[in-house]
Amino acid sequence: DIQMTQSPSSLSASVGDRVTITCRSSQSISDDLNWYQQRPGKAPKVLIYAASSLQSGVPSRFSGSGSGTDFTLTISSLQPEDSATYFCQQNHITPFAFGPGTKVHIK
Amino acid sequence: EVQLVESGGGLVQPGGSLRLSCVVSEFTFRNYWMHWVRQAPGQGLVWVSRISNDETSIAYADSVKGRFTISRDNAKNTLYLQLNGLRVEDTAVYYCVRGRPLANRGSDCYLDYWGQGTLVTVSS
């Protein structure tokens, strides 16, 4: 099975900061990588699919990149509403594993 | 507006069974692959199972294989998850999720709509 890792596990940043989260897969998954945001008490919401495609309705400050085994999610200018946990997920082959998550705090 | 509404969660003893249901609306259910994803309290997301639109392709996480069964009734716009042999570590919120196809990439590329979840608690 493919294993997903993320770093950091948590971060604290100020409004307006550029934030980068990294996701790594245990084997190549091409660009079959998605990013989700989960706010406390809410269901997850997709931000980025196919590694770099922005889901409709998601602010353009979110972007994704990468292919193979290494991927990044970038928030270009952090906003207060971005306080959440972010998960990557591979859909290359079942079981579709999620990363352990990165919790983003606003200073 | 697309809606997915789960039900069937509750408190059950170890070794017990539950059947989760997810009724969907405002999209053509029979055209979409569907998933179950769970989240233990304070923990991350764990993919559980997936079923194709016509039930010909089914997959499970290793942790639930042989104990859980996914199924669907396209006439009733309903997804199911039968949970047998429940363990304490199965305690979680279970989400019903729609798989989104992408042209030239396949029928099941990302998870675009999520229900609000139903809580399963396994405890003696």
CA distance linking residue B54 with residue B94, whole number of Å: 22
| pLDDT (tens digit per residue) in A52-106 | 999 999 999 999 999 999 999 999 999 999 999 999 999 999 999 999 999 999 9
- Mean pLDDT, to the nearest integer, of A39-44? 96
Q: Give me the pLDDT at residue B93, please.
A: 98
- C-beta separation of B101 from B116 below 8 A: no
Whether A34 has its CB under 8 Å from any CB of chain B: the answer is yes
Going from the C-alpha of B57 to that of each of A43, A67, B44, the distances in angstroms are 26, 27, 26
Least CB-CB distance to A46: which of B35, B60, B110? Answer: B110
Going from the C-alpha of A65 to that of each of A24, A38, A70, A72, B84, the distances in angstroms are 12, 20, 9, 5, 40
Least CB-CB distance to A91: which of B46, B110, B115? Answer: B110
Going from the C-alpha of A79 to that of each of A44, A52, A67, A86, A104, the distances in angstroms are 18, 20, 27, 14, 11
Q: Give me the pLDDT at residue B107, please.
A: 76
3-state SS, residue B43: coil
- What are the 10-residue block averages of pLDDT along chain B, 124 residues in total? 98 98 97 97 97 96 98 98 98 97 84 97 97
3-state SS, residue A81: helix
Residues of B in contact with A34 (CB under 8 A): 109-111
